[in-house]
Structures are given as structure tokens and as C-alpha cells.
Chain A
Amino acid sequence: MYKPGIWSKVSYVILVLIAVVVIMPIVMMVIGSVSEPGHIEANYSLIYDEYNFSNEYATLKTTTSTLTIKQYLTVLLGKLDILLGFWNGIYLVVPILMFGLVIAVTGGYAFAKFDFWGKQIFLFAYILVMLLPTQVTLVPQFIFFYQINLIGSRWAVILPGIFSTFGVFLIYQFMRKIPDAPIESAGLEGASELRIFWSIVLPQCRSGMIAYIMLTLIDYWNMIEQPLILLNSEAQYPLSVLLRTVNRNELGIAFASGVLYMLPMFLLFMLISDDLVEGISNTMPQIMKKGGKN
């Protein structure tokens, strides 16, 4: 491992190649979105043409002769359904993040720093639900919401998101690493429990909360299963579901809206990628270290 030389160079080249391959689709996406609309459609829309008599194939476009923001303008100014999809995404994600963070930090704190009856059982149940595929938890929730007439309401998507067990578990992992001594001494000095939580525990949990926000955002900005099953009308679907129908009709628009949809995530990623890396690498492996036992 400590022999610099040919192996070091080779591995660097391999890494660069892998990175290029990984970003390739994203680059194609961006290029497609800034090309002339006609140009894109003439080329790429061949793939959706059911009666492709000319028997032509799409070709790879990695460059574009003219740069244009026409497609972005069309999306932003004219395409109401796409804007609605965008708005629907925000409408679902923001409450999930806001309330979910509260649930995650309080729950995580309780599990990490207190002992109470049934804690181990709940912790085990939380891990279990976290590992279940979305569909498996969706079925009981669907049956339940169907009985109480909540199918078709946005709350059917938002509520399970707020109470996702993943958040609690993630924060729990972070809080376990916070030393007990300052908490105890603050208690001896007469700080109330809420004050200890607010001024001592939460500040130390910053990167945990960032990791929570980022990972939850990734998951729910991208959700497909939940809206499909729990919402009735397409008018409520976020763009993550709607893009599929957009794709078929106008490719240029699809490119632009696809880029627009990943833009918020991308910006956030650039802003806090170091925190995210720290968050992932600090806490996640600990999940397995002692399992549900504390």
C-alpha cells in the first residue's frame, strides 16, 4: 500500500476514467438541455417513434454548436404541468423535512441517552422497518389510509415521511457518540431537560442533522412508489413521477425539466458535500457495530 510508483499512477487513471463514466449521463443531460430544441428532437426523438420507417438511429451528441436557454424558458414560462410537478415535489418534501427533523432529533435523543421500558423492542422495530422495502411498508399504510379515507390526500404521503424510522435511527447513531459528562454536569447545574437538549446536545449533532436533511431530501425528492400508490390524481404527482410522461412527448423539454429537477439537489450537494461525506462516514458504520443493543 505504500509503494508509490506505477500502481499509483494506474489507479489514478482508473479512478479518473470511472469518474468520467459516472458523470457522463449527467453531462449528456445538461448538453441536451442547452441545445437547439429542433436539433435535439430531430436526433433523439427517433427512439420514441413507433413507425420509424426511415430506420435511422439516434447518435451520440456530446457537443452542441449553439447554446440556448430556450428550453428552460419554455419550461419556466409555459409548461404549467411541469411547474406544478415541481411545486408538488416541494409541497411534499418541505413538511416532511421540517417535522421529520423534529421527530428525528427528539426520538434519537430519547433512544441514545435515556432508558425506558420497551426501548429495546422499539429500537429493534425501528431497525426492522428501516430495512423493509418501501412497498412492504406501503401496503399496510395503504390499507390503513384506505380505511380512514386518507388516500388521495397529500398527508398520506407526508405523514409516513415525517415518522420515518430511518431519521430517528440516523440521529440515534450520532447522539450515542456525544459524551454523557457535559449533559450530566449541565443537569447538576440546574439546566432544564429542554435546555440541555437545545444548548448542549443539538449543537453537537450538527453534522448528523445535515446528513439527515440531505439523505431524506434525496429519498423524498426522488420518490415514486408513494405518490403512485397513495395519491389519486396526476395533478398531485411530483415531477419525479411526471417526468416519465413528459419524456415521451417533447424531449428538449424533458431534458430541461430533468436538469431543473436535479438542480436543487446538485446545488445542495455542492454546498455541503463535505458535511455529507463526514456524516455518512462518521455514523453509518456504527449502526452495525452493536446492533440494537446499547
Chain B
Amino acid sequence: MRGDFARGELPARKTKETKKFVPLKTRKSITGVLFALPGLLGFIVLVAIPFGMTVYYSTTNGVGQFVFLDNYIDLFHSTTFQLALVNTMRFTLIGVSMLLILSLALSVMFYHHIKKSTFGIHAIKSAVLLPIVIPTASIVLIIQILFEPYGIINGLITTLNGSPVEWLYTAPYSFWILIVLFLWKNCGYCMVILLAALDTIEPSIHEAALCDRANGFQRFFYITLPLISTSVFFVAIIGIIGIYRMFRESYLLMGDYPHESVYMLQNFINNNIRNLNYQRLSSASIVFLLFVTLFVVLLLKNNIGKGEE
């Protein structure tokens, strides 16, 4: 091609176009479809068709009879499902809000020092980002050594004359251990995102606020926070995805049946797969899908509106 051009000939493509009278727009969209095709085929076969089958299963009973919404009604009457649903919501609410607060605080603190770019700052940044690359299986070992009945924490407690606690298997503690693990894992990642957002704020805005004698809190809540709201929102999304991933920690630490305060929808679905309970499973995942769809629609609407402002 390049050779043709160097010799001063017309590029081949142009002549072809004029011959065939294929509008550029159509040509472009055909190319686009060709590029997208491998991925789309995979998506259709591995996601769309399976989901279609799931919808079908969710409306039949075991022998293929159509029962409409019976499975869904059963599901919502099941106490295990209710427990799992409530637990998931609670975990999401507490976990995500703590993640937001912590990563915001971290990034604001970090932002003071970012201009210095000393070795120390670089090391701290790497350190807080490190947990995302650590496999769950590796870290679970340490958590067990700390929190099992004869672990280090209980050892410390007994030397201080307290009574040992079964951390992983009692109500508030297993929940909070998972929350801490969740924060440990996601905080650094979210901090990096927020730092990038903080970096886009014009210093002059803050200087103007300083001239008007705004204090630190005012500047944070009236300037910084609104300006990085998109990223904060995104961190919330990361948090929600991260919460679903917490099944890994929960499974490796506590097995198939963790304490009922941390029995979440992921555990519910996982345990039902073992029993090959298609109907229950599929209706459960469809319900989940609908929830998330609703959420995404709201979210996109919200953000498209914002983008146009």
C-alpha cells in the first residue's frame, strides 16, 4: 500500500469505493461488525443463550411443566434466601460506605504528599495497592493463624486474662473480619482512582476558596467532593463488584456454611448448584439479574444526565 502511494498512484481503496458505490457509512459499519463478531459470538453463545435457558428453567417445574412464577414465590418464601438477601444488602451497605470513606480519606491524605514523589511516597503507594495482586488463598492462611480459636489473637487475650472468642464463628466478628478483608483488598485500588480524580481539580479553585476564607472542611465538602463525584460513584461500583467477590474469602475461611450472619446470596447459589436444584437456582439468579439491571439502568440514567449538564 505504502509503495503504491509512493509511486503517486491513487490508493486502491478509493477507486474501489467509487466503482461499487458502497456508502462509507455502510462500509464502516460492516468493518465494525466484523471486528466485533468474535466477541459477540462468544457473548451470545456463552452468556445470552445460557441466560435464555435459565429464564426457561425458572418458569418450569422439575419435569418441564410450565409453572409461571411459582419458583419465584417459593424462593421468596424460603428463609435461607431471605437471610442471604438481607445479609448481602447489609454487607453491601456497610462495606461500600466504609470503603468510600476510607479511600477518600486515604487519597486526600496522600494527595498532600504526591507532589514530593519521594521514595517513601512511592513505597506507600505500592504497599496499599499490593493487596489486589495477592491471591486470596495465600492471605487466608494468615487470617486463620490470627483468628482461629487457638490463634494469635486469642493467645494475646488469654495472656491479658480475657476469655478466648471463636472469632470466625460468632456473630459480629465473622462479619467484621470479612469487612476488614474487603477493605484491605480494595482500598488501595480505589485510592488510586480517587487520586487521579483529585489531580484533575484546578488548584486555582482551591486558591480562590482560600481567599474567601473557606476552611478545610468547607473546601472538601463544597469543592473537592462535588468535583470528583463521578469517580466516587465509580468507586462505589468497584466496591459492589468487590463485595460479590468476597465469596472467595468467605469460602476459604469458613467453608460452604459460614455463620448465618455472613451467609450471603453467593453462598446460597453455590450451595444450590451442588444439589442441582435448577429451578430454585435459576429463579434466584434471574432475580439477582433483575436487581442489577434496575440498578444499572438507574445509574446510567443518572450519569448521562450529569454528563450533559
Stretch at the interface among A9-17, A63-71, A202-210: A9-17
Q: Which residue of the partner chain A has the closest CB to B252?
A: A244
CB distance from A235 to the nearest CB of B (A): 17
Given contacts A60-B152, A128-B293, 18 further A-B contacts (CB under 8 A): A23-B130, A26-B139, A29-B138, A47-B145, A57-B150, A57-B151, A103-B38, A122-B43, A139-B269, A139-B281, A159-B46, A163-B42, A188-B14, A197-B35, A222-B136, A266-B130, A277-B129, A281-B192
Q: Which residues 16-48 in B have Cβ within 8 Å of A in the complex?
A: 25, 28-36, 38-40, 42-43, 46-48
Residues of the A chain whose Cβ atoms lie less than 8 Å from the Cβ of B40: 107, 122
Q: Is B39 a contact of A1 with CB atoms below 8 Å?
A: no
Q: Are B129 and A143 neighbours in the complex by a CB distance under 8 Å?
A: no
**How far is A243 from B144 in the complex, measured between Cα atoms in Å?**
13
- The count of chain A contact residues (Cβ–Cβ below 8 Å) is 122
Q: How far is the CA of A1 from the CA of B203 in the complex (A)?
A: 10
B259 close to chain A: CB less than 8 A: no
Main secondary structure of the interface of B (DSSP, over half): helix
Question: Given contacts A244-B252, A262-B135, A280-B193, is CB(A58)–CB(B38) below 8 Å?
Answer: no
Q: Which residue of B lies closest to A255 (CB)?
A: B141
Contact A228 B46, beta carbon cutoff 8 Å: no
Contact across chains for B135 and A261 when beta carbons are under 8 A apart? yes
Interface pair B240/A131, CB less than 8 Å apart? yes
Q: B36 is contacted by which of A116, A127, A129, A135 (Cβ under 8 Å)? A: A116
Across the interface, do A165 and B43 meet the contact criterion of CB distance under 8 Å? yes
Interface pairs (23), CB distance under 8 Å: A1-B111, A2-B206, A16-B120, A25-B143, A106-B38, A107-B36, A131-B241, A134-B245, A135-B247, A135-B265, A140-B51, A140-B53, A160-B46, A163-B39, A165-B47, A224-B251, A225-B266, A239-B137, A261-B137, A262-B135, A280-B196, A288-B231, A290-B303
Complex Cα distance, B245 from A132, in Å, reads 10
Q: Tell me whether A133 and B266 are in contact (CB under 8 A).
A: yes
On whether A140 and B47 interact (CB within 8 A), knowing A2-B210, A103-B42, A261-B135, the answer reads: yes
Contacts of B33 in A (CB 8 A): 110, 114, 116
CB atoms of B152 and A59 under 8 A apart: yes
- Contacts A11-B112, A23-B130, A159-B46; A136 near B38 (Cβ below 8 A): no
Known: A136-B285, A259-B138, A290-B307. A281 touches B195 (CB 8 A): yes
Contact A57 B292 (CB under 8 A): no
Q: A58-B150, A163-B43 are in contact. Are A111 and B36 (CB under 8 A)?
A: yes
Q: Quick check: which of B4-12, B67-75, B93-101, B169-177 contacts chain A, the rest being far away?
A: B4-12
Cβ distance A108 to chain B, nearest Cβ, rounded Å: 9
With A1-B206, A19-B127, A165-B43: A266-B133 Cβ-Cβ less than 8 Å = yes
Whether the pair B296, A131 counts as a contact (CB closer than 8 A) is yes
List residues 133-177 of chain A with CB under 8 A from any CB of chain B. 133-144, 147, 159-160, 162-163, 165, 168
CB distance from A26 to the nearest CB of B (A): 6
Say yes or no: B137 contacts A282, CB within 8 Å.
Answer: no
Residues in A neighbouring B135, C-beta threshold 8 A = 221-222, 239-240, 243, 258, 261-262, 265
Chain A CB count within 10 A is highest, among B138, B195, B207, B273, for B138
Judge whether B85 is part of the interface by a CB distance below 8 angstroms.
no
Given contacts A136-B285, A190-B11, A239-B137, contact A280 B109 (CB under 8 A): no
In residues 192-237 of chain A, which contact B (Cβ within 8 Å)?
Answer: 192-193, 195, 197, 218, 221-222, 224-225, 228-229
Shortest B143–chain A CB gap in Å is 7
CA distance A147 to B50 in the complex (A): 10
- Please list the 9 inter-chain residue pairs (A to B) with the smallest Cβ-Cβ separation, ordered nearest first: A114-B32, A190-B11, A57-B155, A281-B196, A163-B42, A140-B50, A133-B244, A107-B39, A110-B36
Separation of A142 and B206 alpha carbons in the complex (Å): 54
Binding site for A on B (CB under 8 A): 1, 4-5, 11-14, 25, 28-36, 38-40, 42-43, 46-51, 53-54, 57, 106, 109-113, 120, 123-145, 148-152, 154-156, 158, 164, 184, 187-189, 192-193, 195-197, 203, 206-207, 210, 216, 219, 230-231, 233-234, 237-238, 240-241, 244-245, 247-248, 251-252, 265-266, 269-270, 273, 278, 281-282, 284-285, 288-289, 292-293, 295-296, 299-301, 303-304, 307
Q: Say yes or no for A76: interface residue by CB 8 A criterion.
A: no
Of A22, A114, A289, A291, the contact of B31 (CB 8 Å cutoff): A114
Question: Which of chain A's residues have a CB closer than 8 A to the CB of B106?
Answer: 15, 18
> Which residues of A come within 8 Å of B, CB atoms?
1-2, 7-8, 11-12, 14-16, 18-20, 22-23, 25-26, 28-29, 44, 46-49, 52, 56-60, 102-104, 106-107, 109-111, 113-117, 119, 122, 124-144, 147, 159-160, 162-163, 165, 168, 187-193, 195, 197, 218, 221-222, 224-225, 228-229, 239-244, 247, 251, 254-255, 258-259, 261-262, 265-266, 268-270, 273, 276-277, 280-282, 284-285, 287-293
Q: B2 to nearest A CB, angstroms?
A: 8
Q: A106-B36, A243-B138 are in contact. Are A22 and B109 (CB under 8 A)?
A: no
